[in-house]
Structure 1
Amino acid sequence: MRSSLLVTVVVAVLVTLAVLVISLVLTLSDEPEPPSTYEHYRQHIIDNINTNNINASLRFFTLEPHPAGSPGDEHLAQYIHTTWGMHGLKTQLIKYELFLATANANMPNKVILNGTDGETFESTPIQPAVDVPPSGQQDIYSFNSFCGVGAAQSSSVVYANYGRDEDFHHLSEHNITIKNSIVFIRYGKLFRGDKVRFAESRGAAAVVLYTDPADAAPLGPLHTYPSTVFAPPGATQLGSLKLQGDLLTPGYPAVESAFRLPESEADLFSIPVQPMGYGDAWHFLSLLEGEEAPSTWQGGLNLTYHLGPELAGGAQVTVVVNDQHHRKTVYNVLGVIEGQEEPDRYVVVGNHYDAWTYGGVDPSSATAVVMELVRMFGEMHSSGWRPWRTMVFCSWAAEEYGVMGSTEFAEQFSTILKDRAVVYLNLDMVMDGNYSFRAMGVPMLHDVAFEMAKLVPNPDPAEVAQGRDSIYDTWLHRYPAEPSGDSAPRPMVAPLGTGSDFRAFLFNLGIPSMDMVFTSAPGEAGLPLYHTAYETYFLTTSLMDQGLLYHQASARMLGLLAHEFSTQPVLPYNVSTYTDFISASWGDLSLSHGSQLAHFNVSTDALEAALEELVSAGKAFQERRPSPTDADDLTRRRYNDAMLLLDKALLAPLGLPGRPLLNHVLLAPSSLNGYVWDTFPGLRDLLRMAQEEEEEEASEDFATSRLLAEHVAALTHHLTLAARTLSASPW
């Protein structure tokens, strides 16, 4: 993105005007009389989410690209800070100095095709402008942050499908070498950084991440944005290759006093990586020869996909990356409504405000929703409402670069948050489709999510006509969970991964966390314009959610959850659901890997006894858990603290095997796909490693047995500790 003094001045003026105009609109709007009871406040939240306010905020947040560290990004932080203060919250800006990567506008990245006949083709460095708002579209350069800088050239080019571990295994089985090759991988299925990690570990010279029309333009290039939500040929998905906080201060906050690693020691990829749209990708993939790719690997380009590594006519491909690395200042924004009975217990609600481009959906749809919730809760507070616990609204910086703002905050205040935060509720974006609402979160939060979803009116009129009046009804109908015994049918709650700001709260601090989104149907492309130059206000309001009814439903759901956790004297957790989940997860792992554990002579008897103790403790705890009205404050506090200790008991002080920056022994982002979690992740990683070594005939059974036995012993300890947190006496 090119910035100028004129742009900076214009944005500063717009920020000031926006605050005044939006504040005037809100001041002049008619507000109903404040409610007076718990039930009335819940209804008040449902009745008073104003889509006009959401629309005004969304329009403002999408006026220009605002990647982390840019002038536009800082102006938005200042705007959020000012606006939240005007709504009566106690606000604060928290500053960090982060290590960031940017595209080099003077020497843009490119992928070059050199034919033996002297003809060449170069990928387009920027995404073509379109004839819909925003007018005067700025140049948005294509790059992936935190890859290697330099050039890689090769006549060996390989197509690796989605770049999954299984895809690379298929190539190996067919004797197609990755070493010193330039690997073309299509976006989708898993986190982009995992694709690059798998390629780099196999010796790839460079990676090209491209958007395939089968995933992002299934109706063809003539039926794309701005006519539809699908990606035109020039749409290029930007994105970070790392999701672990600031790379120079691992494990510690990137504050002024921090010790920073030399850049040469940072956890960067060493090979060049460049994204491109399918219009450019055709020029390269159409020349690829070698074995024909399997039918399931065939994409949507007008060609037969081949695996390589030969190119027709002996052509060569060069990947050139000229990214620049900087230290840049960013700001988290905090807004606090203090609790009356338990001011030292925090309900944390978060969303990030930075965007790779205009951020029409990710994240500005959700940022606009959080702005409306802050207005509403602020007015409730000024009218006399008081939460039981303190509400902390957070607008995070630099999420797109690697969940940085939230991670640095979690590192800076780790001890306080582990002791005082009762839940983290995240909203990254409102929707990637309109098929169904869907929550992602830990099992302790499932019941309260179901209860609140039953209260939210369905924004889909076709579903209402079928008698499904709430978002819960459609969720249950379209995403039912697998039946479990004699229990009533329930919707599916998806796992969390590492793709948003809940990462550090759950996987490092053990704070129960939830994210939510309206999503697409199984098998459909979710948000085809994700992280592209066409993720605009027009996309959101004209093509995805006319009238912003899904935004309104999202605000209602998040508002009801925040209200529930901030006002219920006994926290709305279900401990036995969690302990049953842990037991079932172990059953799945034993079924799939029991013989492998037996091969290494690793006994799990003590671990299974600890699991039985934990399940029994969870059931007994849930049965004696007090209702909000039949216990004194001290008893309720004791039970709440016990529930909060459950996840803390599962935190390993030295981290997971091979992944010291992750602490939760039960849940962690999968090493095969960071967008979802693994259960018992350390054990699964060790078993995968053992299997890979065995396939390479490099297995050392004694060393592997020791690592497995050591981790099983650690798991046994943490599961026993978790059971004891739920007991009246821990001894």
Structure 2
Amino acid sequence: MELMIGDETICLRKRNYKRYYLVVGILAGLGGFLVGILLGRFAIPRGEEDGMVSQAPRFSSYEGGQHSTQHDLPLDVSPEFHRRISADNIRDYLRDITSHPHLAGSAQSEALAQDLAQFWRELNLDQVNLTPYNILVSKPDRSDPNAIQFVDEHGNVVFTSAPVERTLTQQDNIDEAVPPFTGFSPAGTVEADLIYVNYGRYEDFVSLTQDMSVNITGKLVLARYGELFRGDIVKLAAHFGAAGVILYSDPGDYTWGDKVYPRDWWLPGTAVQRGVVMTGNGDPLTPGYPSIESAYRPPKGFVPQSLPQIPSHAIGYDDVKFLFRQMKGAIAPPDWRGGLNLTYRLGGVKTPKSFVRLRVTTRNERRTVYNVVGIIRGWEEPDRYVIIGNHRDAWGYGAFDPGSGSAIMKELSRVYAEMKKEGWRPRRSIIFCSWGAEEIGLIGSTEWVEQYSKLLSDRTVAYLNIDTAVQGNFSLEGNASPLLYHVMYEATKKVPNPDVGDQKAGLLTVYDKWLQTFPDKPISQNFVRPKLRDLGAASDYTGFYQLLGIPAADVHYVYNKKLITNIAYHPLYHTAYDTFYSFQSFADQDFQTSRTMAHVWAETSALLADSVILPFNITDYAEALLRFADNIQKNYGRMMKAAANITLDQCHEAVKSFMREAKEFHQRITKMDKKKPLAVRRVNDQLMQIERAFIDPAGLPNRPHYRHVVFAPSAVDSYAGTGFPGLIDTLFEIETARDQAKRWEVVKKQLSVVIFTVLSAASTLRDVTAFMADYFV
């Protein structure tokens, strides 16, 4: 026998077989050495010193440094969170964050981004990045502020709205505050009669123009905040022919009792709620694509469709009193009357030739904003991400919104980094994100999602949104994908109730108080859980959820909404009085509520990052699908049958099929061997793909930037979530539509999309080892 090695021929004989085995052994050793190098370089997760993590480190108190087959989480993680999270740290972080206003695109906001990046570098996170985006921002003109004026019959300006809030306490530094404005309102001047339109909802405009016969074409409309997104108010006003919009906060919606700020946290008459009126998400100049250096942008002068068509401005209720007293017309219906001690009239001014003037000087310009991203790599599955995000920009000082969340996320990252330093790592990677420019259209997070959509879609387990984390100190409330219901319930059962009085009453955990205050409808006679609302599009979870189908949650501590039913948000929302002083004085004096929220997010992220099997409950999703189908049947079933012979029978059958597959899937999980890495990976991949299965690349009718077939914001209120939105949108007001026949065809199409999508999602739950023909039965 002969063996060729290079140019040399070696003859193998029985007498020199030892030489043969020696050569083969050398070759095998070299091969093994090379394979070992390659595996060491590319297969092992990268860590801190030289980029390598060779094992799964754990605290020494955890046996063996591996996951238990009886417990998905290491036994010592929850006590570590409870011991390490510091209320004092959160207080200090918030005081620093709120020392100056930090509007999107401002130097102060960039300084906060740089400070956070440095903070994370000093914590020795595995990776810290600053990601820039050059976007369109909106700014008021300090030297020539926006104004509402009343001009009398002689042409004299007898009233001008306040250019900025008045200083009410020594702790306020209003001199630095951003003047009131509505983001992306076009500049211009409108002089016209004033018409009161209640909350500016679709039904309000219909009632006013049709039932009350009030003409609003070319008029200024006055709308109060409280029931829907301000951008939708302006959009609806333009649709009904108005020339401009004046927004205000009515004391009937933002006060309770007779004390207002600074005696209590209820809204004073001098306060003005700022906010964006753009109806799209992301940079309006680069829709659908990231606003990076190479991005195409339209020529100067182009007005994107997402920007409002008519000007708008917001004022306080002290100023609106003067305007109401100049109005004539019919007295407003009882449910249109707010908390002002005057007569609410529908419109027109009393004196001929007098009018209201809306003057907007807001301008748009391109600025660079930054996202800050900090990463702790997982030891077992570094390519699976649990993302924790909070926006950084604010309309003013931003203590409640978003500072309470920013301070909590900062403390959470410190605790995780400290645990990592002592030898612990999560199973999956945890990514902390501080978004720029959320307040003017969810821009920072949307651009990031657009830029990294392929990677995020493949690898992200869930997105946890920490926005206005503390609105009050009463109980937990929030929104989430049904996949995360179970996660939120289990996490809050681990967190002590911060209220000592509640604990004495037997409400020992956050979950206990949450269940008592905000119970959901009973699932069965003896089974009640806390309520989690459906996700709309009110914060940075929107891009993850609506574009990519990544499960998301957004929860916070709130005031007693059972007692105070008229308050939509915390009363000082988006005003110059949203300061460290007001937060500490009236929401969280000892910062124990903030500490509790940090603990809730720590437990939630740990369950997602460290459980062997992802803790998603798919039957909760099936229950939500059934609820939506039942609601459509209840509200539209008879009309659909009578007008177009449409039934929901197939829709209900599809939902039942999904429920069956969900139950069988969870049964298989209970029987699987969790010690087999590939089996675990296979099941987790199926769990990760469930939410994605409900994404329609075509998007919703006339709203391609919303792709989730099951959950999306209402077409007439971006804050509110709705089930089967494509179907609901086409059914809305269909009986009064001029093109009913065409609309009914769209209804049929959207119903077919719902049925197909639910069945398709159900198929992803089947046993992947089953014969492929099963998929086509």
**Structure 1 and Structure 2 fold alike (TM over 0.5):** yes
Secondary structure of the residue aligned to 2:368 is strand
| Aligned match of 2:68 | none
Asked if the contact 1:430/1:550 (under 8 Å) is kept, the reply is: no
| Aligned match of 1:99 | 136
1:61 is aligned, of 56, 76, 97, to 97
Q: What is the correspondence of 1:299-378 to structure 2 with a 5 Å cutoff? A: 299-312=338-351, 315-378=354-417
Deviation at 1:479, TM superposition (A): 0.6
The one-letter code sitting in structure 2 at the alignment partner of 1:234 is T
Q: What is the correspondence of 1:567-716 to structure 2 with a 5 Å cutoff? A: 567-598=610-641, 599-602=643-646, 604-626=648-670, 630-688=674-732, 690-693=734-737, 698-701=738-741, 703-716=742-755
2:553 aligned with 1:509, yes or no?
Answer: no
Which deviations, in whole Å up to 9, do the C-alpha atoms of 1:645-687 show, x marking residues without a partner? Answer: 1111111111111101111111101113211211110111111
1:478 is aligned, of 517, 526, 535, to 517
Deviation at 1:422, TM superposition (A): 0.4
2:188 aligned with 1:138, yes or no?
Answer: no
CA distance, structure 1, for counterparts of residue 672 and residue 486 of structure 2 = 16
| Cα 1:41/1:201, change in 2 over 3 Å | same
CA distance, structure 2, for counterparts of residue 618 and residue 279 of structure 1 = 55
Identity of matched residues, %:
35
| Aligned match of 2:761 | 722
The one-letter code sitting in structure 2 at the alignment partner of 1:254 is S
CA distance, structure 2, for counterparts of residue 294 and residue 53 of structure 1 = 50
CA distance, structure 2, for counterparts of residue 443 and residue 411 of structure 1 = 24
> In terms of mean alpha carbon deviation, does 594-603 or 335-344 score higher?
594-603
CA distance, structure 2, for counterparts of residue 648 and residue 627 of structure 1 = 26
Asked if the contact 1:570/1:627 (under 8 Å) is kept, the reply is: no
| Aligned match of 2:423 | 384
Secondary structure of the residue aligned to 2:653 is helix
| Cα 1:626/1:93, change in 2 over 3 Å | farther
Q: What is the correspondence of 1:528-543 to structure 2 with a 5 Å cutoff? A: 528-543=571-586
CA distance, structure 1, for counterparts of residue 167 and residue 61 of structure 2 = 49
> In terms of mean alpha carbon deviation, does 54-63 or 126-135 score higher?
126-135
Which deviations, in whole Å up to 9, do the C-alpha atoms of 1:313-370 show, x marking residues without a partner? Answer: 5531111111111111011000000011111100000001111100111011110011
The one-letter code sitting in structure 1 at the alignment partner of 2:266 is F
CA distance, structure 2, for counterparts of residue 225 and residue 311 of structure 1 = 33
Deviation at 1:436, TM superposition (A): 1.3
2:269 is aligned, of 224, 233, 237, to 233
The one-letter code sitting in structure 1 at the alignment partner of 2:707 is N
Secondary structure of the residue aligned to 1:676 is strand
The one-letter code sitting in structure 2 at the alignment partner of 1:160 is V
Secondary structure of the residue aligned to 1:93 is strand
Deviation at 1:524, TM superposition (A): 4.4
Secondary structure of the residue aligned to 1:534 is coil
CA distance, structure 2, for counterparts of residue 580 and residue 35 of structure 1 = 40
Which deviations, in whole Å up to 9, do the C-alpha atoms of 1:523-556 show, x marking residues without a partner? Answer: 0423111111110010111221111011000000
The one-letter code sitting in structure 2 at the alignment partner of 1:92 is N
Deviation at 1:178, TM superposition (A): 2.1
CA distance, structure 2, for counterparts of residue 559 and residue 241 of structure 1 = 34
Secondary structure of the residue aligned to 1:625 is helix
2:462 aligned with 1:423, yes or no?
Answer: yes
2:76 is aligned, of 34, 40, 55, to 40
The one-letter code sitting in structure 2 at the alignment partner of 1:168 is F
> In terms of mean alpha carbon deviation, does 355-364 or 720-729 score higher?
720-729
| Aligned match of 1:213 | 251
Asked if the contact 1:34/1:383 (under 8 Å) is kept, the reply is: no
| Aligned match of 1:10 | none
Asked if the contact 1:159/1:183 (under 8 Å) is kept, the reply is: yes
| Aligned match of 1:120 | 158
Secondary structure of the residue aligned to 2:265 is coil
Larger radius of gyration: 2
CA distance, structure 1, for counterparts of residue 743 and residue 228 of structure 2 = 28
Which deviations, in whole Å up to 9, do the C-alpha atoms of 1:36-55 show, x marking residues without a partner? Answer: 37121111112211111111
2:188 is aligned, of 150, 169, 173, to 150
The one-letter code sitting in structure 1 at the alignment partner of 2:120 is W
2:112 is aligned, of 67, 76, 80, to 76
Deviation at 1:287, TM superposition (A): 1.7
The one-letter code sitting in structure 2 at the alignment partner of 1:39 is L
The one-letter code sitting in structure 2 at the alignment partner of 1:416 is L
CA distance, structure 2, for counterparts of residue 224 and residue 607 of structure 1 = 50
CA distance, structure 2, for counterparts of residue 491 and residue 473 of structure 1 = 9
| Aligned match of 1:401 | 440
CA distance, structure 2, for counterparts of residue 137 and residue 371 of structure 1 = 28
Structure 1 alignment gaps of length 5 or more: 1-32
Asked if the contact 2:711/2:725 (under 8 Å) is kept, the reply is: yes
CA distance, structure 1, for counterparts of residue 736 and residue 308 of structure 2 = 22
Deviation at 1:374, TM superposition (A): 0.6
| Cα 1:707/1:136, change in 2 over 3 Å | closer
2:245 aligned with 1:201, yes or no?
Answer: no
CA distance, structure 1, for counterparts of residue 479 and residue 508 of structure 2 = 22
Asked if the contact 2:172/2:577 (under 8 Å) is kept, the reply is: no
Q: How many residues align?
A: 691
CA distance, structure 2, for counterparts of residue 108 and residue 494 of structure 1 = 39
Deviation at 1:608, TM superposition (A): 3.4
CA distance, structure 1, for counterparts of residue 383 and residue 474 of structure 2 = 39
CA distance, structure 2, for counterparts of residue 167 and residue 135 of structure 1 = 38
Deviation at 1:584, TM superposition (A): 2.0
CA distance, structure 1, for counterparts of residue 727 and residue 361 of structure 2 = 39
Which deviations, in whole Å up to 9, do the C-alpha atoms of 1:567-589 show, x marking residues without a partner? Answer: 00100100011012112211111
Asked if the contact 1:602/1:705 (under 8 Å) is kept, the reply is: no
Deviation at 1:119, TM superposition (A): 5.3
Asked if the contact 1:600/1:704 (under 8 Å) is kept, the reply is: no
Asked if the contact 1:132/1:226 (under 8 Å) is kept, the reply is: no
Deviation at 1:169, TM superposition (A): 2.3
CA distance, structure 2, for counterparts of residue 541 and residue 72 of structure 1 = 22
| Cα 1:296/1:435, change in 2 over 3 Å | farther
CA distance, structure 2, for counterparts of residue 241 and residue 426 of structure 1 = 22
